[in-house]
C-alpha cells in the first residue's frame, strides 16, 4: 500500500498566491517585506513544483505496474535553459500564476527572468536532448535522461573591445529548486588499477582509484501533466571527504586535495561543440556518467526481472553521439564480470539494447582515444573492446581496415558505437544519406539494415507556446490549441495565409515581439532599433562551417553598395548575431571580432540614416533565443552544404514565422519540402557540388576575381579599413579566403548576395511576405520533437507510448 499526499491544484489565483506565500514563509524563511526577487521566484517555483510531484509518482508507479519498456537517454549535454515558465505552462497554470504573482505585487516577467539558465550543453546537440525530454514526457514514454550535473555549465561570454572573453558560469550560485538529491543513490566509479583473469570470460578489475557518482533528480512534466519523467544527473563526490591525518598534521591543503580532484570530474562542461579535448579528464567524465547510468538502470531492471535475456525487451539505451560510447564496453563488462555471462551472450544482449545517434560528420568529432590512455584509465574496458573488435573481424573476415575499432594505437569510438548498437541513426534525411556514403560507408555495407534516419525536431511547447504568446493566441483563436500536442494541426493555418485578417494578426504579433526585443537590446547598448526594419538573425555556435563570415562579408558589401547608391530604395535591416566560440578556436574568435568591428563602423555611419545596423548581444543562450526567435523576420541557415547535420534553430524560426535564407543543408532540405520552394530562399552549392569542388582542390581566386563586391570587401578587411589601429588584425581571414577556403565562402558569395537582394524585394511586398510567413508556420508540423520521439519509439526503441 502506498500513501500519497497530493497538494490540491489551486482553483484560482488567490489560492495559488497563498501557496506562494506559504513557501516564502516556511520554505524560504522570509517575510514579504524582506523578500528579494529571487526569494519570490523560489517561492513560486516551490508552489509549482508541489503540483508536479504527485503526477511524477504516478508515472513511476505506472511504469513499474505495467512493466513497460523504459528508454534511457544517455547524453553528455542537456541544454535545458530555464525551467519555471515551461513547467507552469505545461501544467496549464500560466495565466493563474501570473495573476497570483502580480497580486502579490511582483512583476511576472522580472521574476521569470531571475532564473539562471541551466546551460549544461554547448548547442544543438544538448538542446535537442532537452527537447526530447519534453517530448518523451508529453507522449507518455517511460524514460530517463542521464547526464552530468556540471558545477559550471557553458562559459559566460562578454565582449571586451569586440573580443570574446570567457568567464566561468555559475548557475548553482543560487538555490536550484527543481532538483532532488538522492543521497541513498551513489555508485563507486573506478579508474585505472589492475585486471586479473577470472573464470571463463570473466575478470576481476581492481581500480586504482575511484569517485562516487551521486544522483540528483529533476522531474520533467509533460504537457497537461499527464506524464512526468526524470532527468537524473550525476555529480562526482570523493569517497572520503578529506584526509583527517594530513589535516591534523597541519597539511590543510593536502588534506583536501584528493577530494578536490574527485570533484573535478563533474566540475565543467567542455566548451567545445565538435572536437574532443582535455583528453584524460574528458574520458573520465564520459565513463563516469555512462557507468553510473548503466549501473542504475540495471538495478532498476533487476527489481522486477530475474532473467537477463529480457533486457532488450525492457530496456533501450540511446547513446547521444559517441560521448557515452564507452557504455557499450561497460554494459558488457557488467554482464560478464558481475553476472557471469559469456562474452558472446553479453555482446548479443548489449547489442539488442543499445542504439547510437550520430550528430556530425566532422571527422574531428568522431572521438578517438589513445590505446595507452585507455589502458591506463580503463584497462578492463580495453580488453572488452579488443574482444568486440576480434569478434567483429571473425564475423566479417573481409572487413576493410576503416571498420576496425582499434587501429594505429587508437580506439575509434564511432566504430565501437556502431558495432555495439542495434540501430544507428542520423538526424536529417541528407545527413543520414551522407553517413551511409561517407563516414560509415563500409560499416553500412556490412550492416545494411542498421542505419535509419530520424529527423530532429523541437518542442512546440517551449518554442511557440511559451516563447511567443502573441502567435500562440492568434493560432488558438483560429484553430484551437490541439497543435500543442499534435503539431500537424498547424496545416489548418495554410488556407488562412490567403486571409487578410489572419495576415494582419500575424503582422501585429511579430511587430509586438520586435518592439519587445528592441527594448531589450536597447537596454544592452544596441541603441534604437526600428521595429519596422527587417530583423535578420543568425544565432548559433560560432563555427567556420556555419559561415557567420559569409553573412558579415555580405553585410559589409551591402554597406559599400548603400554608400555608393544612397538614393536607392534600400529597405531597413537589422543584422543580429548571437553565439559563442570555443575558447581555443582562434579563427572563430577572430570572426567575432570582425563582426563587431564591421558592426561598429556601420553603426557609426550616419549617412545610412539607420537603414543598416549590426547588433551582437553577448552571451547568447537558450533564454536569449526565446526572445530573438519570435522577433525574427529572416533566419540565416547558411552552412556549407553537407556540414550541418540537421540544425534545429532553422525549425524554431520557421515555426515562429520567419522566412529562411539557407543552403540545401541538414534539415533545410526537409523544410523546403514542407513549405514549398517558393516560400524559402535557397541558394548556393549543394553538398555534392561542394564535394566535387574540394575533390579538384578548390581555388577561390576565380570566384573573388569574378565578383568585384567580394574582392572589395576582402581588400578592405586586409587593408585594415575595419581595424585602423591594427591593420594586420584580419590578414589571416583574408588569407584563409584567398588560399584555404575549405568552407567555400567565396564560391557561395555571389549567390548569397543575389538572394539577399531578392529578399530585399520580397520584404517590400508585405502581404506576400506575410503569406509566406503563414505558410512556413503551417508547414512545420513534422518538425515537432514529438514526431521525432514517436519515430524513435517505433523504429529504434520498439517502445510503446502512453496513447
- Closest by Cα among 634, 225, 630, 230 to 465: 630
- Closest by Cα among 81, 168, 166 to 580: 166
Residue for grid cell 495565409: 497
- The binding site for ligand GL4 (CB under 6 A) comprises 123-125, 128, 273-274, 359-360, 365, 427, 456, 644-648, 666
Tell me how far, at minimum, the Cβ of 365 lies from ligand GL4, in Å: 5
Helix axes 731-739, 586-603, angle to 10 degrees: 110
Extended beta strands in 288-339, E state: 315-320
Per the annotation, the verdict on 230 as an active-site residue is no
Q: Is the dihedral of CA 699, 702, 705, 706 positive or negative?
A: negative
32-66 core/surface letters (b: 16 or more CB in 10 A; e: else)? eeebeebbbbbbbbbbbbbbbbbbbebbeeebeee
Per the annotation, the verdict on 543 as an active-site residue is no
Tell me how far, at minimum, the Cβ of 647 lies from ligand GL4, in Å: 5
| Residue closer to ligand GL4 (CB basis): 190 or 647 | 647
Residue of 23, 431, 541, 613 marked active site: 541
Q: What is the torsion angle, in degrees rounded to the nearest 10, for the CA atoms of residue 369, residue 372, residue 376 and residue 382?
A: 60
Tell me how far, at minimum, the Cβ of 793 lies from ligand GL4, in Å: 18
Q: How far, in Å, CA of 649 to CA of 4, rounded?
A: 41
Residue of 23, 359, 503, 589 marked active site: 359
Helix axes 548-564, 745-764, angle to 10 degrees: 60
At residue 159, φ and ψ (nearest 5 deg) are: -110, 125
At residue 672, φ and ψ (nearest 5 deg) are: -60, -45
Q: Which residue number has the CB closest to ligand GL4?
A: 124
| Residue closer to ligand GL4 (CB basis): 52 or 268 | 268
Residues 6+ apart with CB under 8 A from 247: 255
Order across the sheet with 612-615: list the strands: 612-615, 573-578, 534-539, 634-637, 659-662, 681-682
| Residue closer to ligand GL4 (CB basis): 203 or 439 | 439
| Residue closer to ligand GL4 (CB basis): 125 or 484 | 125
Q: CA dist 800 to 456, 789, 790, 797, Å?
A: 20, 11, 9, 9
Spatial contact of 240 and 259, defined as CB atoms under 8 Å apart: yes
Helix axes 500-523, 469-479, angle to 10 degrees: 160
The gap between the terminal CA atoms of the chain, to the nearest Å, is: 27
How long, in residues, is the chain?
A: 803
Three-state secondary structure call for residue 186: strand
Tell me how far, at minimum, the Cβ of 251 lies from ligand GL4, in Å: 43
Per the annotation, the verdict on 359 as an active-site residue is yes
Tell me how far, at minimum, the Cβ of 358 lies from ligand GL4, in Å: 9
Tell me how far, at minimum, the Cβ of 402 lies from ligand GL4, in Å: 21
Tell me how far, at minimum, the Cβ of 273 lies from ligand GL4, in Å: 5
| Residue closer to ligand GL4 (CB basis): 104 or 427 | 427
Residue ranges of the alpha helices (H) in 148-211?
A: none
| Residue closer to ligand GL4 (CB basis): 591 or 645 | 645
Residue of 546, 580, 593, 672 marked active site: 546
| Residue closer to ligand GL4 (CB basis): 129 or 558 | 129
| Residue closer to ligand GL4 (CB basis): 392 or 543 | 543
| Residue closer to ligand GL4 (CB basis): 456 or 596 | 456
| Residue closer to ligand GL4 (CB basis): 59 or 646 | 646
Tell me how far, at minimum, the Cβ of 584 lies from ligand GL4, in Å: 16
Tell me how far, at minimum, the Cβ of 642 lies from ligand GL4, in Å: 11
Tell me how far, at minimum, the Cβ of 327 lies from ligand GL4, in Å: 18
Per the annotation, the verdict on 546 as an active-site residue is yes
Residues 6+ apart with CB under 8 A from 76: 147, 148, 285, 286, 289, 320, 321, 323, 324
Residue of 218, 228, 648, 746 marked active site: 648
Residue of 423, 593, 652, 672 marked active site: 652
Q: How far, in Å, CA of 214 to CA of 234, rounded?
A: 5
Residues involved in catalysis: 359, 540-541, 546, 648, 652
Amino acid at each position: 500500500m502506498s500513501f500519497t499526499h497530493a497538494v490540491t491544484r489551486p482553483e484560482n489565483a488567490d489560492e495559488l498566491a497563498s501557496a506562494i506565500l506559504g513557501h516564502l514563509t516556511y520554505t524560504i524563511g522570509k517575510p514579504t517585506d524582506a523578500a528579494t526577487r529571487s526569494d519570490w521566484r523560489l517561492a513560486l517555483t516551490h508552489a509549482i513544483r508541489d503540483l508536479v510531484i504527485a503526477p511524477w509518482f504516478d508515472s513511476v508507479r505506472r511504469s513499474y505496474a505495467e512493466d513497460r519498456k523504459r528508454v534511457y537517454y544517455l547524453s553528455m549535454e542537456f541544454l535545458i535553459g530555464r525551467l519555471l515558465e515551461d513547467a507552469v505552462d505545461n501544467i496549464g497554470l500560466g495565466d493563474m500564476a501570473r495573476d497570483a504573482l502580480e497580486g502579490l505585487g511582483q512583476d511576472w516577467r522580472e521574476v521569470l527572468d531571475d532564473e539562471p539558465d541551466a546551460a549544461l550543453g554547448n548547442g544543438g546537440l544538448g538542446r535537442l536532448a532537452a527537447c526530447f525530454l519534453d517530448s518523451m514526457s508529453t507522449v507518455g514514454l517511460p524514460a530517463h535522461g542521464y547526464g552530468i550535473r556540471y558545477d559550471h555549465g557553458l562559459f559566460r561570454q562578454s565582449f571586451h573591445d569586440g573580443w570574446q572573453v570567457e568567464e566561468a558560469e555559475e548557475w548553482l550560485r543560487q538555490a536550484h529548486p527543481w532538483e532532488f538529491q538522492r543521497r541513498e543513490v551513489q555508485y563507486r566509479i573506478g579508474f585505472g588499477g589492475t585486471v586479473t583473469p577470472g573464470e571463463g570470460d570473466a575478470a576481476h578489475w581492481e581500480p586504482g582509484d575511484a569517485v562516487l557518482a551521486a544522483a540528483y533528480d529533476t522531474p520533467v512534466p509533460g504537457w497537461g501533466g499527464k506524464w512526468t519523467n526524470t532527468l537524473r544527473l550525476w555529480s562526482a563526490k570523493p569517497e572520503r571527504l578529506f584526509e583527517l591525518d594530513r589535516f591534523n598534521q597541519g597539511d590543510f591543503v593536502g588534506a583536501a586535495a584528493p577530494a578536490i580532484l574527485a570533484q573535478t570530474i563533474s566540475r565543467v562542461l567542455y566548451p567545445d561543440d565538435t572536437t574532443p579535448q582535455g583528453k584524460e579528464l574528458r574520458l573520465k567524465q564520459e565513463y563516469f556518467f555512462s557507468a553510473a547510468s548503466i549501473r542504475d538502470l540495471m538495478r532498476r531492471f533487476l527489481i522486477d526481472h530475474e532473467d537477463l535475456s529480457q533486457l532488450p525487451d525492457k530496456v533501450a539505451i540511446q547513446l547521444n553521439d559517441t560521448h557515452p560510447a564507452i557504455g557499450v564496453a561497460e554494459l558488457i563488462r557488467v554482464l560478464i564480470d558481475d553476472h557471469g555471462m559469456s562474452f558472446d551472450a553479453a555482446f548479443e544482449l548489449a547489442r539488442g539494447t543499445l542504439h547510437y545517434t550520430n550528430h556530425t560528420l566532422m571527422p574531428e568529432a568522431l572521438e578517438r582515444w589513445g590505446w595507452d590512455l585507455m589502458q591506463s584509465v580503463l584497462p578492463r574496458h580495453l580488453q572488452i573492446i579488443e574482444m568486440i573488435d576480434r569478434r567483429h573481424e571473425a564475423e566479417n573476415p573481409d572487413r576493410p581496415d576503416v571498420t576496425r575499432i582499434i587501429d594505429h594505437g587508437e580506439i575509434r569510438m564511432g566504430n565501437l558505437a556502431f558495432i555495439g548498437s542495434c540501430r544507428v541513426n542520423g538526424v536529417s534525411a541528407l545527413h543520414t544519406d551522407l553517413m551511409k556514403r561517407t563516414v560509415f560507408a563500409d560499416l553500412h555495407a556490412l550492416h545494411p539494415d542498421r542505419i535509419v534516419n530520424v529527423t530532429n525536431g523541437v518542442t512546440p511547447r517551449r518554442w511557440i507556446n511559451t516563447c511567443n504568446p502573441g502567435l500562440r493566441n492568434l493560432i488558438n483563436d483560429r484553430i484551437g490549441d490541439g497543435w500543442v500536442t499534435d503539431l500537424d494541426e498547424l496545416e489548418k493555418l495554410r488556407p488562412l495565409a490567403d486571409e487578410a485578417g489572419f495576415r494582419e494578426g500575424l503582422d501585429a504579433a511579430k511587430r509586438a515581439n520586435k518592439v519587445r526585443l528592441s527594448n531589450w537590446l536597447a537596454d544592452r547598448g544596441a541603441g534604437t532599433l526600428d521595429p519596422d526594419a527587417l530583423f535578420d538573425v543568425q544565432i548559433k555556435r560560432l563555427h567556420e562551417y556555419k559561415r557567420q563570415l559569409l553573412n558579415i562579408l555580405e553585410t559589409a558589401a551591402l554597406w559599400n553598395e548603400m554608400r555608393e547608391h544612397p538614393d536607392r530604395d534600400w529597405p531597413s535591416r537589422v543584422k543580429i548575431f548571437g553565439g559563442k566560440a570555443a575558447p581555443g578556436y582562434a579563427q572563430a574568435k577572430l570572426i567575432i571580432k570582425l563582426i563587431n568591428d564591421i558592426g561598429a563602423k556601420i553603426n557609426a555611419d550616419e549617412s545610412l540614416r539607420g537603414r543598416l545596423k549590426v547588433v551582437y548581444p553577448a552571451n547568447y543562450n537558450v533564454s536569449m533565443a526565446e526572445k530573438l526567435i519570435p522577433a525574427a523576420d529572416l533566419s540565416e541557415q547558411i552552412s556549407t552544404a553537407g556540414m550541418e547535420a540537421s540544425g534545429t534553430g532553422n525549425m524554431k524560426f520557421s515555426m515562429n514565422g520567419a522566412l529562411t535564407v539557407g543552403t540545401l543543408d541538414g534539415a533545410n532540405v526537409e523544410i523546403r519540402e514542407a513549405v514549398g520552394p517558393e516560400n524559402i530562399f535557397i541558394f548556393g552549392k549543394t553538398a555534392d557540388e561542394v564535394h566535387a569542388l574540394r575533390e579538384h582542390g578548390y581555388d577561390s581566386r576565380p570566384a573573388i576575381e569574378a565578383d568585384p563586391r567580394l574582392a572589395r570587401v576582402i581588400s578592405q578587411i586586409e587593408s585594415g579599413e575595419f581595424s585602423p589601429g591594427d591593420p594586420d588584425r584580419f590578414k589571416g581571414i583574408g588569407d584563409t579566403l584567398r588560399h584555404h577556403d575549405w568552407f567555400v565562402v567565396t564560391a557561395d558569395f555571389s549567390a548569397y548576395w543575389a538572394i539577399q537582394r531578392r529578399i530585399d524585394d520580397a520584404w517590400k511586398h508585405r502581404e506576400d511576405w506575410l503569406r509566406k510567413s503563414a505558410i512556413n508556420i503551417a508547414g512545420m508540423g513534422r518538425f515537432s520533437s514529438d514526431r521525432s520521439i514517436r519515430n524513435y519509439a517505433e523504429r529504434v526503441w520498439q517502445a510503446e507510448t502512453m496513447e
